[in-house]
Amino acid sequence: MKKIILKYSLSLSVIWALIILGLCSMPGQHIPSFNFLEMLAFDKWVHAGMFFVLCSLIFFYLLQKNSSKNKIYLFFALSILYGCSL
């Protein structure tokens, strides 16, 4: 599994970013509401998890390409901006 993720990290990053876009574009009324999930701030954890996966996939891709630290920081910042823009 690790070899697959490392080999296809760029493709997986793009696919995952599109999945995030689709999920975050869904109207709120189509998402079920549970009271106990609201108490745990479940939506915040889900968003953090989605963008953690995105950052991890991009990081693996950049590590394979022996990218500089500045490039890694740039893509990390772009992932955060992508999350904030949704």
**Extents of the domains making up the chain:** 2-85
Q: Specify the pLDDT at position 33.
A: 64
Are 17 and 75 spatial neighbours (Cβ–Cβ below 8 Å)?
no
**So what's the pLDDT on residue 35?**
64
**pTM here?**
0.65
Q: Which pLDDT tens digit goes with each residue over 1-47?
A: 778 777 888 888 889 888 888 888 877 666 666 666 566 677 778 88
Contact 9, 60 (CB under 8 A): yes
